Amino acid sequence: MNGWILGFVIGAVVTAVVVVVLLMMIVGARRTAEKVEAILSGLNDTRDRTAGLWGVGDTATTAKRIVTAAADARISLTPGGRS
């Protein structure tokens, strides 16, 4: 009978250890999920706040055209400038 009792005790201890390890894994996964949500929220905020930067190239091109047109107008309006 001592062997059966010892087997049950060892089985209970192993089961308890497995349960504790699984609970620790679940808690760690929840914490990781919370951190991931916070990171994704920050990335989405950053994306939304910097969306206007994608238009900087178009703005620079338009500004160059305006400067070129203004320079051409200045030359045309200057006495002795081109006709």
pLDDT by residue, tens only, the chain of 83 residues: 688 899 999 999 999 999 999 999 999 999 999 999 999 999 999 999 998 888 888 899 999 999 999 999 998 888 876 65
* Structure-block tokens of residue 74: 């200045």
Question: What is the structure's pLDDT at 30?
Answer: 97
Same domain, 43 and 61: no
Residues 63, 80, single domain; the answer is yes
8 Å CB contact between 75 and 82: yes
Please check whether residues 7 and 22 belong to one and the same domain.
yes
Q: Which domain range does residue 42 map to?
A: 1-49
Are 63 and 33 part of one and the same domain? no
What is the number of structural domains in the chain?
A: 2
Same domain for 44 and 4, yes or no, is yes
Say what the pLDDT of residue 1 is: 65
Residue 54: the pLDDT is 83
CB 74 within 8 A of CB 67: no
Are 16 and 35 part of one and the same domain? yes
4 and 38: one domain?
yes
What pLDDT does 36 receive? 97
